[in-house]
Amino acid sequence: MGLILIKAIKISILIGKLLCFAAFTRPDLFLFNFLLFLLNNNFRLTHKKPHLPTKTCPICERPFTWRKKWAKDWDQVIYCSDRCRKNKNKYGD
């Protein structure tokens, strides 16, 4: 419920900023530009790349997502961060 409220607040702040900006610019183009803005953004407030592969770190047991710097060796990537890689012996891995 809290996340939905935060998203609604972000949208209302954005609309408020656009309305204030429109008062000082060309009001005849405001509606057209506002509708174009809404169509381009599609009201997206979620993650834009849900199709990326994920793995689970054996140390912290958190999921981590593919990164471009891991593109060449994604199959060899085991740990989510340098911190987990350095602490691997601490947890008996």
pLDDT digits (tens, 9 = 90+) for 3-13: 666 676 677 67
Residue owning tokens 């409220």: 5
Q: What are the residues whose beta carbons fall under 8 Å from the beta carbon of 40, sequence distance 6 or more?
A: none
- Nearest residue to 70 via CA among 85, 59, 81: 81
Q: Is the pTM of this model over 0.85?
A: no
Condensed to tens digits (0 to 9), the pLDDT of residues 12-65 reads 676 766 665 555 566 666 667 776 676 666 555 555 667 889 999 999 999 999
CA–CA separation, 18 and 43 (whole Å)? 15
